[in-house]
Amino acid sequence: MSRVTQRKVRIGWFSPVNLPEKTSSTLSAYTTDLLLPQLRNEFDITVFHSGFQQYQDYKTAHFLSAAEQHSRDPFDLFFYQLEDHPESNFIRQYCGVMPGAIWFHDFLFTSHGPEPILNSPFEDVIEHFNSDTCDFRERGHEYKERERSGIREAGLSVLRVFSREIAHSECKRRVSSSLTFQEQENRILSAYLPVPIPDVSAPLFDAEDQFRILFCGSVQVEHRAHKLFQAIAALDPSTPVVWLCSLAEQHAAEELIKEYGLSSVQLLPERSPKKWQQLVEERGWRSVAAHIHFSVYGQTAPYLQMSLAAGLPTLISDFGGAEFLPDSLTFKIEPGQTESSQIQIVLEELLSKRVHVDSSAAADFARENFSKEQIGRELSFMVRQALPVLSEMNARWGKLHRAARDEVLDFALSVHLKRAEEDLFPQTSAFENSATNSSVTLASEQLQEIFQELGFSK
């Protein structure tokens, strides 16, 4: 008896990607590299990005071809990764074309996004999706510019996933209008899912290893480099520091080092998770990782999680998502006037070995919560939990799409008929008008035939 092969769930995966000729600086590309190998055996995945290059050995296409592929062989889910980065603008734009799951690496943005979404009628779209009785607005209605957040994207999503706990809470507080479903009861449609990390080896420390500080923040004020360097200058300006910065910030970083008179800073203008992993795993040093970050924008993942996985003593800002990390595993620095003195005290305690750090506990915590295998399993579970809702969404979104298309066609027909009547009968009497009704009807029928030939049907 022949065995029936079960169809895999089809996922359209939207993300910037790392290519041989160009490495992306986005969290999305990093996460894609880690998670797709965990998911490919379970799901049928097509990667959509903003270019035409092949991504590894996965089925790959330009994101503008997604709708055409979906019409031929429907996807069960469009999965979008979204963050505050120019490379993600195509996702902010396209996730409103076909709702699906969105993994928010950021919920608050430093810009309003690409021009096509600035006059977005997303609230009207949500209202039409949730109700069959509301009318379409008149053509030409203008929509006000909204706050720089993901309320539009969250409202038009089926499954919301957040890589920061604080963003999950922020979304619940801000989003008041969203798609609703009959099948959503007891379904996981909003959840926290952290950024995954690769397998990180914890280095073996020797009592004679030299002390050093690892830092991968930017020169911008929110990454607190000025506070860290002020503390190091007060402690010992010759303390070894490795600073992983971006190439674009190299000159500004060099100027900042000079400003504080630090003499042993190794500046590496190649900030990437791969390079950071090499540093935290490096033997021969007693390394301390500084991940201080004081801002509602951006996050410290995956660098902070890698430092924990390596068992390094880790400094973080007591702000935002810090409350979700155990106090016993990190040194939490309160931002403000005493920030640099707090950092100095912690560094002195670590340098003198007066404080003990449970490296194995930090490594165990990181593996249990951030490993790529664990995150892959959790994401798979969320997708399968949401499948009944996704099926309902696909059917109802198709209905709304057809209704909106018909509304546009009605408007176009009325405009063309009015112009045709004005051109054919610019100044006619009521008697002449009644005599030409058949001509107007014929023009209407001809326009209908033209639209049908173009693939639009009423």
If asked whether residues 169 and 217 sit together in one domain, one would say no
Cα–Cα dist 182/158, whole Å: 12
Cα–Cα dist 98/332, whole Å: 42
* Residue 117, both tokens: 């979404």
Mean pLDDT over 190-209 rounds to 90
If asked whether residues 356 and 421 sit together in one domain, one would say no
For the cut 80, the answer to whether the pLDDT of residue 353 exceeds it is yes
For the chain, what percent of residues have pLDDT higher than 70? 90
What is the helix (H) or strand (E) element at residue 3, kind and residue range?
Answer: none
Cα–chain center distance at 87: 10
The boundaries of the domain holding residue 304 are: 210-368
Residue 42 lies in a domain: yes
Residue 389 lies in a domain: yes
If asked whether residues 261 and 166 sit together in one domain, one would say no
Residue 3 lies in a domain: no
Amino acid present at 321? G
Those residues with Cβ within 8 angstroms of residue 132's Cβ, 6 or more apart along the chain or in another chain:
none
- Length of the chain in terms of residues written: 458
If asked whether residues 387 and 439 sit together in one domain, one would say no
171 contacts 162 by C-beta, under 8 angstroms? yes
Residue 156 lies in a domain: yes
What is the chain's mean pLDDT, rounded? 89
* Confidence grade of residue 435 (pLDDT, cut at 50, 70, 90): very low
Mean pLDDT over 368-396 rounds to 93
Q: What is the DSSP letter of 238?
A: T
What is the CATH classification number for the domain harbouring 68? 3.40.50
* pTM recorded for the entire structure: 0.87
If asked whether residues 79 and 148 sit together in one domain, one would say yes
Q: What is the pLDDT of residues 204-231, one digit of tens each?
A: 877 778 999 999 999 999 999 999 999 9
Instruction: Please tell me the total count of domains within the chain.
Output: 3
